[in-house]
Chain A
């Protein structure tokens, strides 16, 4: 393996070798390398295969815009990342990198057959090829595409790393620590403003790291950089964050920063987070993100060894790596000439500089001649050759815009430059407008919507002197706008490399352009001819061209490809670029790990789990749990050997035979208090409340103003001015919000106070014929005999020595009580009742049994048997409406024409013809099972259970005109058979006379 490392050059530590592997091969780089620079130092250009055609690809760039050198990287178990950009990933000891999109190997890849089937995969192939026949999609296209394509491989283990997040506020946030950003930071920092300066790479400096020969303020660039960083470090008001990418620019100057903390470390300190998301609110933002170099578009511009000239300069000067010995430079901009000169001075032998312009500054051509480099001005490139590495380039003369005489030039690298695109992605996130500059052939920042300043190459300037001055001015202005006193400082620059260039469409060729593989978007394998095909096939808007060709839709969001694609589309359309327009940039600026977005919200802290005071008892007694809203609720209590069905049958039988205990603490509870409490209740709920006596309770039904059922629950009147409202478990917050809304904004004159008391009370339900016997000995200050405390009675008393609110209420059809005690006593109350209940063979039951018992009685669950489109009449609840009330929320809607028209879905019971069949909840119901598909659905099953008490299966369903279908047979088509069931209007399947609950 040849070494392309140049001794004593670059900012790498030549005394610190670092071991790593690439596709299993052991290699060595240096501390300070990126993975890409280390591979290049080992003579490796071939770093991956392309996404669609599986063409061999080499590294193109030296930054986060890299489309080709995407690799899998791994540190250990649960620490595999696909699509790591080798140009960003710093080398660390033991780094394992693997190439992607190839099988069996990078050098020989079966999938490369796609490259020869190119015509099949042309623009729009997703839309054209795979539309028909349908079966082909399932059996052929999708499996083949999934197998052959895909960008890397998703990790299969859960992420072993931890992630952090942090908020920050600052006067001035500067994004990009190149010369403009550093000058801005000096200016703002010296003013005393709080400054954050961030850069996505490992080290501040930007282009200065690739331009060591520039002299600033009398010092060589790197000395000036060191002095500047020392001054900034000494300012307590300045914070510098490296390895930190500004991924999104949100409203009111909020910026998301993704900071990489440990991926570069040889060993990770225990507990250190891998990445941190910063949410920064800045008074002023300064964007100094520089410009992105464009490739030139010619046949074979994607061959390994063909790369951006600026990247080659960076590898040379920053990393001490010579990317080739005999490069040919192809350019439309002066900047690439300096790359050639730097390489020549470092010992490489640049063969030729091909400039597509007809006019190049004499100083450049003179200097090339001094280095013995051939200059070919006004030429075009029409091809390259070499299988896994470029070996020659085909250069033609151009006459009247047409390529003529070709000539092959042997080389080992091609360094291209198609000009520079101001990096305005973040600015675009703010919906700031872009203005086309026809001279620069670039979009520049136009109208601003935020307090933002753009300086340097990001607004089309070129050369260190001009961007330093611009950065200093922007930093000064930002500090002034943030209310600081700031004075601008000037910088002197010698040995600068100013320059100009042009932007062109694909280069002219003497060959069939239909056969050219002239790539625009390397990551998505989009060529110039794809863009022209899209225009020929009728795409007019750049947004359509983008979606048809997928140009710019890869993870790099077209950082390299957007302007080249636009130049070609505008040429094909015969319109000026600004009339064709630019596609929208969206956050994140670069691909960002899910972990960074999740931050601390993973595993146990992903989502809150609410537990009742009785939860520890349920856990100790082997409960199976289910999530209900954010609560974890005991679902059933299996005994050894029992499955859910066996446990639920036992719990149901025990409750109906003697007594069951149920933790109902999750019920939403709202205290409605105040002199106008009864008026408020009259207006909110459908039921009448004025005549409900103190010490009584009532089922309450809540509608939306649209007349649909929103919630329900038992509501007790504990005093003239005090209601204890219960809501569904999941509806508590919604109901309180709705009550507050009406109270604050519609009836602010009412003297009512609303308090959420859900978590203040633990609620134990005792249900079954022995419920009173069990409870009675514990009750003080209240007679709970059947006569003194009838069904729906409510009172405050003492239970087991605890202050309690006691309700005689039944959600099972049995004699029942619900005991509310302060939450801190809930577990003690439960344990006392449990102990005393042993003499009655008391049974703890969970939510599944609760559901069976309530369904046997036809009690609905709002949200399960209703879906937000059922009126009280639809649900058979007209009895819950106070007929004499002049108004309540939703009343007016109940007489709207649509609400009384035939054809509404209504809640009914369903009894299967085979009583042993339990219908599936959610199953669709039809009138005629033989009708052609798609069948007309009449409705669906909402609740369905096996009922021991009834001796058969029972179900509820919402069915079109259900109430008029008593006795009708309907059909429930299942995947392999059709079930039949009869409609019953009365959904009370068990004890319809209510003798048991009145006991």
Chain B
């Protein structure tokens, strides 16, 4: 069971308190009607699914109930860091020491 750092509660807490919420940094388009069918398909369904650092959303659902973002290494399952919703995507090279 993972320990996850909630950036709002500022505590490391067991995975049981959290719910996964899909890939991060996929903003809903301001005006979906302007998107082509292909663009809208990509927004809905196309995800990066990387072997390596994955930016993803979690919700502290059994705690403060806030959504936040995390960078997690998908090979080791390890969290590299978590940060508040709305903050920019961190630099992977700074997190891992290697460029992706």
Contact = CB atoms under 8 A, between A and B. Distances in A.
Nearest to B24: A745
A449 interface: yes
Given A891-B32, A893-B44, A896-B37, A250 B1 contact: yes
Given A741-B21, A745-B85, A891-B32, A251 B67 contact: no
B35 interface: yes
A748 B66 CA distance: 12
Contacts of A746: 27-28
B61 interface: yes
B91 interface: no
Contact of B77 (A251, A254, A742): A251
B44 A706 contact: yes
Interface in A866-917: 886-887, 891-893, 896-897
Contacts of A431: 76
A892 B57 contact: no
Interface in B27-73: 27-28, 31-33, 35, 37, 40-41, 44, 57, 59, 61, 65-67
Q: What is the interface residue range for chain B against chain A?
A: 20 to 34
A685 to B, nearest CB: 16
A252 B40 contact: no
Contacts of B35: 892
Contacts of B76: 431, 449
A892 B65 contact: no
Nearest to A740: B65
B86 interface: yes
Contacts of B21: 741
B2 interface: yes
A744 B67 CA distance: 7
Nearest to B75: A431
A737 B37 contact: no
A705 interface: yes
A431 B31 CA distance: 46
Contacts of B66: 744
B86 A886 contact: no
Contacts of A250: 1
Nearest to B33: A892
B85 A251 contact: no
Contact of B32 (A251, A741, A892): A892
B3 A252 contact: yes
Contacts of A449: 76
B43 to A, nearest CB: 8
Contacts of B78: 251
A892 B40 contact: yes
A893 B40 contact: yes
Nearest to A431: B76
A886 B29 CA distance: 13
A744 B33 contact: no
A737 B19 CA distance: 10
Contacts of A251: 1-3, 77-78
B67 A254 contact: no
A736 to B, nearest CB: 9
Given A279-B1, A706-B44, A891-B32, A744 B85 contact: yes
B59 A737 contact: yes
A816 to B, nearest CB: 35
B57 A252 contact: no
Contact of B57 (A281, A745, A886, A893): A745
A765 B65 CA distance: 32
Interface in A727-757: 737, 740-742, 744-746, 748
Contact of B28 (A705, A744, A748): A705
B65 A887 contact: no
Contact of B37 (A254, A744, A891, A897): A897
A140 B89 CA distance: 62
B41 A896 contact: yes
Interface string A228-262: 00000000000000000000001110100000000
A737 B60 CA distance: 11
Which interface residue of B1, B35, B66 has the most chain A CB atoms within 10 A? Answer: B1
Contacts of B31: 886-887
A826 to B, nearest CB: 27
Interface in B1-22: 1-3, 19, 21
Nearest to B66: A744
A252 B2 contact: yes
B7 to A, nearest CB: 13
Contacts of B44: 705-706, 893
A892 B59 CA distance: 26
A746 B29 CA distance: 9
Which interface residue of B2, B28, B35, B78 has the most chain A CB atoms within 10 A? Answer: B28
Contacts of B27: 746
Contacts of B61: 737
B36 to A, nearest CB: 10
Contact of B33 (A706, A748, A887): A887
Given A252-B3, A431-B76, A745 B67 contact: yes
Nearest to B19: A737
Nearest to A706: B44
Nearest to A683: B28
Nearest to B22: A741
A809 B33 CA distance: 35
A253 to B, nearest CB: 9
Nearest to B76: A449
Contacts of B2: 251-252
B40 A254 contact: no
Interface in A145-185: none
B55 to A, nearest CB: 13
Nearest to A886: B33
A427 to B, nearest CB: 15
A733 B41 CA distance: 27
A199 to B, nearest CB: 24
B67 to A, nearest CB: 5
Contacts of B41: 896
A887 B31 CA distance: 8
A740 B33 contact: no
A119 B10 CA distance: 64
A251 B77 CA distance: 8
A252 to B, nearest CB: 5
A734 to B, nearest CB: 11
B86 A748 contact: yes
B73 to A, nearest CB: 11
A928 to B, nearest CB: 35
B28 A740 contact: no
A285 B44 CA distance: 44
Contacts of B3: 251-252, 281
A892 B40 CA distance: 8
Contacts of B86: 745, 748
A741 B67 contact: yes
A431 B77 CA distance: 11
Contacts of B77: 251
Contacts of A741: 21, 59, 67
A744 B28 CA distance: 13
A165 to B, nearest CB: 13
Contacts of B65: 740
**Which 4 pairs, one residue from A and one from B, show the smallest C-beta to C-beta distance?**
A892-B32, A744-B67, A746-B28, A251-B2
27 contacts: A250-B1, A251-B2, A252-B1, A252-B2, A252-B3, A279-B1, A449-B76, A705-B28, A705-B44, A706-B44, A737-B19, A740-B59, A740-B65, A740-B67, A741-B59, A741-B67, A742-B28, A744-B67, A744-B85, A745-B57, A886-B33, A887-B32, A887-B33, A893-B40, A896-B40, A896-B41, A897-B37
Given A252-B1, A741-B67, A746-B27, 20 more contacts: A251-B1, A251-B77, A252-B2, A252-B3, A431-B76, A705-B44, A737-B59, A737-B61, A740-B67, A741-B21, A742-B28, A744-B85, A745-B86, A748-B85, A887-B31, A887-B33, A893-B44, A896-B37, A896-B41, A897-B37
Interface of B: 1-3, 19, 21, 27-28, 31-33, 35, 37, 40-41, 44, 57, 59, 61, 65-67, 76-78, 85-86
